[in-house]
Amino acid sequence: MKKTGVLILCLLLISGCSKRVENPGPPQITILEEAVIEVNQPDFSEDVLRAYFKAVDSQGNELPDENVVFLNNANNSLLGTSYIKIKAVDKNGYYDIKTLKVTTVDQTSPTYVLPVQPPVFLVGETPELTVKTAGIQLHDNFNRESTLAKNFRWLINDVDYTTPGTYSLPARFQDSSGNAVEFTLEIKVSDDPLEKVRAGMELILELCQGSSNYFILDAADEDQQIEILNYAQIMDAFFTAQGRQSMEASVFGQRIVTNGDQVSWGGDPTVTDWQYTKTEFTLTDQDEDQLVFDAASSWLVDGNPIEETSEFILKKEQGVWKIDSFVNPLDGPADRTKRMPSPSPSVSGQTTPSPAPTASATPKNG
């Protein structure tokens, strides 16, 4: 009996030892370093945080991702510090929990988009040159454009609006974290109202074509939807109330869909039987507050040229000339089905004597 009892005791001891060898301890999470992530980082996910710690089982083998879970989420849309609890579980249910410190920072400089062509002002205009009136787009990974605009300033704003010429204006803007960017914008002061009209018309054509020169576009999806992020600002800066109504009543305007703060344009994917060629302007009437032009637009319809003339009117509003009335040439000839042409339009004009006084001073280049 004594031998039997000793044998049973030995078997129990061996059995216990084997169990302890199979599960010698829980898994182990090691924090390698505190996490520092960029605010609103586009590719942010839990995988980004996994680079800051290591999780292994009791044998030192790295645990698969499915065995490591985050007990709370890291919010990378706000600056500051958060603490993320991480739990690692092995195949036998043993676990370890550690806390990872996550600091969200903003170290990304803002960006900007300048208009392809310089803004044009007529001699005698008194514009308030701002981000909006200059056609500049400001973008940041954390701040809204309105916030950036408040921190925008011209380093030199030395424009003589009585003297025709091209002026270079250095500017700077920064985000709320102190990240800054500097650039130079060219603007043009002209004594030729035709030049002002052409600049306005080119803006319209770019707008109608959905050009990224004047607003940011997402890639068109299957329904040809394109998002226009600053459509309202463009309309407010370049059109009077009457001009905006005319613009939005056009075929292009009828494709604009507004949903809250999001404005989209639905393109026409069908093939047209006409192609826009050009628009030429002839000054027909003028006074202190209004310029009226004949806008002769040309198209090719089934290979044959067609020309139609409409009025293009500029009116002065609070010292700034704005587009008041126009017929959108990208709607096509009046006697044809109005569809958007696919090629990029070009604008040309014929020389017309300028009604504005020509200053004798030398153009000043900033």
362 assigned to some structural domain: no
Strands 95-105 and 80-89: antiparallel
The 8-class DSSP code of residue 110 comes to P
Beta-sheet strand order (sheet of 320-325): 274-287, 290-301, 304-317, 320-325
Given a contact cutoff of 8 angstroms between Cβ atoms, the answer to whether 100 and 31 are in contact is: yes
**Do 182 and 275 share a domain, yes or no?**
no
Query: Average pLDDT, stretch 231-247?
Result: 77
- For residue 298, the cross-strand partners are 278, 307
C-alpha distances (whole Å) from 229 to each of 208, 216, 219, 265 are 14, 6, 13, 11
pLDDT value for 90: 92
CA atoms of 170 and 183, how far apart (whole Å): 6
| pLDDT exceeds cutoff 70 at 59 | yes
DSSP string of 231-260, one letter each residue: HHHHHHHHB-HHHHHHHHHSHHHHTEEEET
**Do 180 and 322 share a domain, yes or no?**
no
308 assigned to some structural domain: yes
| pLDDT exceeds cutoff 60 at 193 | yes
pLDDT value for 28: 95
**Do 171 and 283 share a domain, yes or no?**
no
CA atoms of 255 and 211, how far apart (whole Å): 15
Q: Give the closest residue to 298 by CA, choosing from 286, 288, 287, 307.
A: 307
359 assigned to some structural domain: no
Which residues have a Cβ under 8 Å from the Cβ of 47 and sit 6 or more positions away? none
236 assigned to some structural domain: yes
The 8-class DSSP code of residue 303 comes to T
303 assigned to some structural domain: yes
| pLDDT exceeds cutoff 70 at 203 | no
**Do 199 and 336 share a domain, yes or no?**
yes
Q: Centre a 10 Å sphere on the Cβ of residue 260 and count the other Cβ atoms it contains.
A: 5
Tokens of 74: 């890291």
pLDDT value for 219: 39
pLDDT value for 320: 77
Q: Which of 53, 86, 105 is the last residue of a domain?
A: 105
**Do 175 and 196 share a domain, yes or no?**
no
pLDDT value for 88: 95
Q: Say whether 331 sits in a helix, a strand or coil.
A: helix
**Residue 205 pLDDT grade (very low, low, confident, very high; cuts 50, 70, 90):** low
Given a contact cutoff of 8 angstroms between Cβ atoms, the answer to whether 237 and 133 are in contact is: yes
Q: Say whether 158 sits in a helix, a strand or coil.
A: coil
Strands 262-266 and 256-259: antiparallel
User: Among 5-19, 24-38, 50-64, 250-264, which is the least confidently predicted range?
Assistant: 5-19
The string of pLDDT tens digits covering residues 244-257 is 887 777 776 777 77
Question: Domain limits at 118?
Answer: 109-191
Tokens of 320: 């700034």
Tokens of 60: 């030192």
Q: Centre a 10 Å sphere on the Cβ of residue 56 and count the other Cβ atoms it contains.
A: 16
**Do 338 and 213 share a domain, yes or no?**
yes
The string of pLDDT tens digits covering residues 354-363 is 322 222 222 3
Q: Which of 144, 168, 191 is the last residue of a domain?
A: 191
Tokens of 254: 């009828």
CA angle 208, 356, 295 (to 5 degrees): 35
pLDDT value for 87: 95
C-alpha distances (whole Å) from 226 to each of 60, 215, 331 are 52, 11, 18
pLDDT value for 365: 33
State the CATH number of the domain containing residue 266: 3.10.450
Given a contact cutoff of 8 angstroms between Cβ atoms, the answer to whether 250 and 331 are in contact is: yes
- 326 phi and psi, to 5 degrees? -160, 160
Q: Quick one: CA torsion of 241, 243, 248, 249, rounded to 10 degrees? A: 110
* Continuous segment of H or E residues that includes residue 20: helix 2-22
**Do 47 and 120 share a domain, yes or no?**
no
| pLDDT exceeds cutoff 60 at 217 | no
**Do 69 and 48 share a domain, yes or no?**
yes
User: Among 45-59, 174-188, 256-270, which is the least confidently predicted range?
Assistant: 256-270
Q: Which of 63, 88, 105 is the last residue of a domain?
A: 105
* Continuous segment of H or E residues that includes residue 208: helix 193-209
- For residue 259, the cross-strand partners are 262
pLDDT value for 364: 31
CA atoms of 313 and 294, how far apart (whole Å): 9
How many domains are there within the chain?
A: 3
Helices 231-238, 241-249: crossing angle, 10 deg rounding: 130
**Do 198 and 68 share a domain, yes or no?**
no
Query: Average pLDDT, stretch 323-328?
Result: 83
**Do 179 and 211 share a domain, yes or no?**
no
State the CATH number of the domain containing residue 74: 2.60.40.10
**Residue 207 pLDDT grade (very low, low, confident, very high; cuts 50, 70, 90):** low
The string of pLDDT tens digits covering residues 103-145 is 999 999 998 888 767 788 888 888 888 887 777 878 888 887 7
11 assigned to some structural domain: no
21 assigned to some structural domain: no
Give the whole-number percent of the chain exceeding pLDDT 90.
Answer: 26
**Do 201 and 336 share a domain, yes or no?**
yes
**Residue 147 pLDDT grade (very low, low, confident, very high; cuts 50, 70, 90):** confident
Given a contact cutoff of 8 angstroms between Cβ atoms, the answer to whether 154 and 131 are in contact is: no
**Do 332 and 242 share a domain, yes or no?**
yes
12 assigned to some structural domain: no
Query: Average pLDDT, stretch 286-307?
Result: 87
- 21 phi and psi, to 5 degrees? -70, -40
Q: What is the pTM of this model?
A: 0.58
